[in-house]
Amino acid sequence: MTDLGRLRWRCRRGMKELDVLLTRYVDERFAAAPAAEQQAFERLLDAQDPVLYAYCLGQTPVPAHLESLIRRITAVGPDR
């Protein structure tokens, strides 16, 4: 089982926008996500901030294996 506190810490990035998106995903969806999605999210956190930012804002094409995860990350929160 993943330590959610550690995962939230890894969501703290150099960009507030990413902090909000990633932390919301962890708080609202991570625990209920399938194991494969959880693993993909943890691997995604290894990416550099500019890459994550570009994926989340649609500024660069998202690899096919990450498309559904990025959609879920950007869809969470009250201001969907």
User: Quick one: pLDDT at residue 67?
Assistant: 95
User: Quick one: pLDDT at residue 77?
Assistant: 47
User: Quick one: pLDDT at residue 2?
Assistant: 74
Task: Kindly tell me the burial class for residue 30, based on how many C-beta atoms sit within 10 Å of its own C-beta (0-12, 13-18, 19 or more).
Answer: buried
User: Quick one: pLDDT at residue 14?
Assistant: 85
Chunked mean pLDDT (size 10), the chain, 80 residues: 88 91 94 95 95 93 94 72
Fold of 4-75: DNA polymerase; domain 1 (1.10.150)
